[in-house]
Structure 1
Amino acid sequence: QNLVLLRLSLIGSLGKLGNNLDPGSKKIKYILSGDGAGTIFQINDVTGDIHAIKRLDREEKAEYTLTAQAVDWETSKPLEPPSEFIIKVQDINDNAPEFLNGPYHATVPEMSILGTSVTNVTATDADDPVYGNSAKLVYSILEGQPYFSIEPETAIIKTALPNMDREAKEEYLVVIQAKDMGGHSGGLSGTTTLTVTLTDVNDNPPKFAQSLYHFSVPEDVVLGTAIGRVKANDQDIGENAQSSYDIIDGDGTALFEITSDAQAQDGIIRLRKPLDFETKKSYTLKVEAANVHIDPRFSSRGPFKDTATVKIVVEDADEPPVFSSPTYLLEVHENAALNSVIGQVTARDPDITSSPIRFFYLHCSLLRMFSLYSLSGKILLSVSQNRYYLLPVPSLTKSLPQHTRNHSQISRVPVAIKVLDVNDNAPEFASEYEAFLCENGKPGQVIQTVSAMDKDDPKNGHYFLYSLLPEMVNNPNFTIKKNEDNSLSILAKHNGFNRQKQEVYLLPIVISDSGNPPLSSTSTLTIRVCGCSNDGVVQSCNVEAYVLPIGLSMGALIAILACIILLLVIVVLFVTLRRHKNEPLIIKDDEDVRENIIRYDDEGGGEEDTEAFDIATLQNPDGINGFLPRWGLPTQWWEERNPIQTCVFDTKINCITQWTT
């Protein structure tokens, strides 16, 4: 049979076992075995009554399976088969609801509409959900109203107020209760907490901390330097507070720019172009700060941007002088007179004070060639030139008044000087030409092609004119022809040239250039008459076959010439030895030794002085007029302009100090 415990908390009789045996015939003994026999449950072996000796808890064990049997009291033999029965523990409401995962945290966007779901919570009850209402839970909010509400059965928490503002209050604490017995009185309850945080949305525009900003900057500040910072505050956080800055108006939009600093959330004003205090002393900018991330739900509130005015005052700074040109290209003719002005560099002081300016060279390698006036900037020719030079970079300094900063400002500019060519060289043959004419040549045959050269360098290239001397215009033997490549061909007028009659012809040719004025020179072409083969190959250009005596061979003639030469050598040696033997050892009175001494009018310059004079001049007095000066002065200038002059150098041999004739 089945026995059921009616009350969990009571200890006492549960029931009684019976049997079909005659109690008068034998004495019966009851025994109990199974779950909890002897420890939780006990049986009266005489009457069969079953008792609970401990309190039962359904949440620990809901039912027990036991076995009962009647046996003989004396022999303990079974009087009938064992009987199995189950004891079920009936539930009572002895467990309160519990929130196993609390306390809870949840987020919901600010400005959410009414009834927006926040989260849901769940409580558990250990009582039997099937029997009675011991495990039937009902939820409610004890604290957190009127901001949030909860559905009693599902425990879903929602917003109870619309448009909650994070900037007003960011965090809320909600206390939630779960009560069993369907919420009726007498039921047990449990509580937990829920922390609700409002997340930010972009519902606030940026706002400048002040409407007017003042900055000052020196006019010589480096480009890209930060002039100042402006900041627009935003009550939002994170990316919702990010703003971009722009210059939208003002008279300095071309000179200044503004960039956004994502970390500091401010705008940095930087210089884009150079400032000039003398041109403009202040600028006004209108800057704008606008949110980067716009929430369309709040666009109706107006533009999420703000503007401010920025005043920038330019401070005067001591600036370097400014050349009138970034580079200078000067030209001078190679025959220009010494100390003539070939050009001028000019500069101005951009400062209001307009301090005096002086010019100077940065390098001194060419100071002996050009001179620079420090006050006017004029450049003079000091040494005659023949071709191109690059003048060292001139600089200028500014002498500052006492009330300004105590240092000098320097500017630099490159000056290139191009030496212009003049037509001072006559053209001439490009090389030493010698023409050969075959005796069996034909009329009109080209004997030789010659070309000319000119040391000058005209802009449009060389163009030569060729002609014969006036007295040679009607030359019966030769004529000339100008070629397209600026060369000249010499042609034979007839055939039948005979080297026995005339072996060599001299043909003077006049060569003129196209300069202004044109220059010309006469070069003579030597034409030799030769014996040639039938195909025009030169074989012999001498006349020995026509001048040898009759009957005398070539070998005999060579032997005779050798004997004559040997005899002449012996005679010369004999006369020379005899003269040296009779020559006196003293100098004759009529010879002046001073003619062979050259005065060396120099103080002596050490190792540098070794090149002051050519030692060959001391050996040959006539060579003084051909003395070549040192340090590379153009030889042609010396030869053409000072053919009989010499010079005296100072001790350092650096420059000419005196001219003597």
Structure 2
Amino acid sequence: MFEQYLSRMCQFQIISCVDSCFIPVSIQATVPQTVQVGHVIAKVDVDQCDTITLDFTTSDPDFTVRPDGTIITVAITMVPANGRTFSVQFQDPNGQKREMNVLKDGLLKRSKRRWSPLPFNIIENDVMPFPKDVELIASDSSATRNVYYNISGPGVTEEPVGVFTVVSDTGMLKVNKAVDRERTPQFVFQARVFDRYTNQETDLPLPITVNVDDVNDNAPTFTGLLQFTVLEQSKAGTMVGMVNATDIDERGTDHTKIRYSLLSGTNLFYINPETGVISTKTDTLDREVNDKYLVTVEIRDMNGALNGLFNTATATIVLGMDVPICFMNTLFYDVKVKENQVEGLILRIPIEDKDLVKTPNWNTEFFIQKGNENGNFRIERDPKTNEGLIYLINPLDYEKTKNLKLEVLARNQADLSGTKAMWMSIPVDVSVVDEDEGPEFTAPTVFITVQENTPNDTLIGTYIAVDPETKSSAGIKYYKVSDPASWIKVDESTGQLKIANTIDRESHFVTNGVYNVTMKAVDASLKTGTGTVIIQVEDVNDHVPVIPSKDLVVCEKDGGEMGSVLVVAEDKDQAPFSAPFSFELGEEHDGRWAVKRLNDTAGMLEHTKELPIRLYTVPLMVKDLQGFGKTQTVTVRICRCRNGACLAYQNSTSLGVWAILAMLLALCLLLLLCMFFAFICVTKNEKMELEDMGDSGGILLKSNIEAPGDAVDSNLIIVPASGIDPLVKGSMIDVGWVGAKNSGMIEGGLGAQQNLLQQSGGVIVTDMETGFSGQNGGGQYGGGNMTFDNTHFIKFNNSAAWHTWQTNGLFLQQKLAYLGTREEGRYADDIIHAYGFEGVGSPAGSVGCCSDQGNQEDLDFLNTLGPKFKILAEVCNKK
């Protein structure tokens, strides 16, 4: 509750002693015991009174009455608990003085902490100075606390901002600027009260409503056009038109109550002051004397009072002459139209109308009343000339209709008035001109039913055309335009249709059992007509049920349970030549299988005894509803399954596209490598010369002594010259190296070395264990031979073979040494590289292709090869 609202409250009742101006009998208001300056006690309703002539006075100087009837205090007033009485005097419009008594009407009870002042009022467009006090808002918590007030919301902190403020200490609401009621008729914002020391709210927020009282600050305005038409010689009181106006001031008050009046033309026209309807005052209006009148109309608010705001405008009143339409041609109109003519204008109908141009009495509407039952025509009005325009919208056929008789009616938009004349109509005769047309088939489309597989040359129908003029088919030829499957042949002279090729209902050329053929007919003048033959293809039982998937899988089950597999069949025929199917085993079945029907198109195949995992073939007989079928063999694989598929099958089919491509790539690389070795082997190095270093004779002699034996012929040991042409460093040849066995003899690598020796000529290599031998030519050493470790036999037939053996071995040795030392410009990457690492190296060592060769310069391994190889080393190193 407001702080100033005390427990003892007074209620005043103003009793009207007069009933003029519709002042209410009583007004109740609640006031505190202590009333501050400017507090509104009550408000007398004077909206229906002339406030200019009213003059209010009060018997108590602490109160005053504003011109709008608001009773406020002009000094701080104490109202005793038993009430207070004073009177208000005023003078009514008749000059008589009246008085209203303010009487006590009982005591007011205090509400608990609910501050709810009455809605406040301010006047729009109030004048300076600002700010002005509006009303005091207070909470009864201020009686026990030191409080302050603030407000927020529209008009305060929201648009329009800053209209209202509050004195925080006293709660006085102030208005800071003029307000336009037409933009904001009401403000609703919140007031809050806080303890000054704790800043805590002492009451709930209170909504404050401020109504903006309207003042007559807007003049009424005209809406709509002020142009009217009335027929000449109309009777007095005939409505000419209605003036419309509006006022944006507050509705339901005199500020928006408009009265209409004429400032000119009052001798001929009259306007209703309340509705704005203009009417004629005489029946002597003559269009030939004056066809247009300009009158001034005034609109004034305040119900036409002198102090009301007003506006004026000029209204135009046009006199019309209500004369019926006259056709320029008073008899009829004749028009010729070619048959099959496309849409277009065929006739203009000129008219004459003496009414005022561009008015409803002049604007003409045309209608075709007869002769257009088929909708072949439409009629419109030319907005410029007011003529009637007849258009053809559907082509005409001379053979069906040679002449059409239309009846066209013309009338104005406005009804006839003040005359007994009637609307006029005129006949229009349309003649259709014949033209030579192409032949027409007896029907645009014909339907023929044909069974599929009908024999060739079978006559299925005739499709002919006639000349529209002669109704004869003489001289007309027939041709096919479209026959996608070439199933039909057409007799050129008679139009007979015969089967040319076997018709198959299951063909993709047939859609829903229908096959279309387009034909054309050509007459002697080469004019054509087209037609369509729709062939309904009937089904016959020309297909038996088939099993599309014949590779079946039966998953092995535990516990001796028999497995089964679903067999699905399909038939291209339609019912009743297809499903339901019957399933049975073929005559040659082995008794280990059984089949039973599952549904119309599927059966269940199962084995009747335990069968091992493998492939089985089972004959099945599937028949359609008519009993037609054949025995078909299906393959059944019994296997262990995962997700319904054989495990072995899954593995065999696990290779993807990329795996297959990788295998093909590897095969291609292997093929290229073989071609490379073949090229090396067959190429003669005519330009390669190697000096004999003299280290070895290229052969080994059998010796059974620990030291160099006397039986060794030193002439046979040929030491090649040192040095190799550097041009051969890129010519790597794959030659088997000579190895050693426990027998102490050296064995030739009979892989690529054997091919090399054979291609060199005069070498025979025999494998003593397998008996395989190869031979190339003969030489001067025809009787010589050598045996190595009782396994291989090598015979050099000429010195060229021996020289080739020696040269290639030396070349390969130097080539490997070169690749191991060169880092730039090398032709092979598979050499030993040094890599930095921390920790212990791998015990496996290098995994390159040459890793088994080790360090060729380290000969310590010879010390571990045994005494026989030591003797061999001494022989090879002998100079």
What TM-score do the two structures reach when normalised by structure 2? 0.34
What TM-score do the two structures reach when normalised by structure 1? 0.44
For CA contacts below 8 A with separation 6 or more, give which structure has more relative contact order.
Answer: 1
